[in-house]
Amino acid sequence: MKTIKEPKYNVKPTENHKSVVKLMSEKVRNKEKVVMKDILAESGYAVSVQNSPQRVTESAGFQYLLAQIDDDIILGRLFSILVDDDKRASLQSADMLLKLKDRYPQNKLRAMKYQDELGSISVVEKT
């Protein structure tokens, strides 16, 4: 049983946030193509928001809802993709979920690189 994570602040996802997460989950489950612009339109967002979906996906309410999705389900799906015939659509959906849940350590790797560079500069200055 998954425990619901409590938000750091008083985060209350809107009905539109809930609708977007629900539609995304249904499309992934049905192995359909996930197009954020279409999902946002169907959820009732304005055209200006549809053209810049990061306004929704980076919001605290949306991130809170995504945090409720069990990662084990995603990992199980990724494993089943290995034996699936149509891998492209499934991989894109899984990739999108992992990006939205900030599971890629891109920025962390960059930060470590700069930290190493700063460490080597300070060593040179000391000698």
Tell me the C-alpha distance between 62 and 55, whole Å: 10
State which residues of the chain have pLDDT below 70: 1-9, 74-75, 77-84, 87, 97, 100-127
Alpha-carbon distances of 113 from 5, 58, 102, 117, 121, rounded to whole Å:
32, 25, 19, 6, 12
Tell me the C-alpha distance between 125 and 37, whole Å: 52
Q: What is the pLDDT of residue 1?
A: 46
- pLDDT, one tens digit per residue, over 87-102 is 677 777 777 767 766 6
CB 13 within 8 A of CB 68: no
What are the sequence ranges of the domains in the chain?
Answer: 15-126
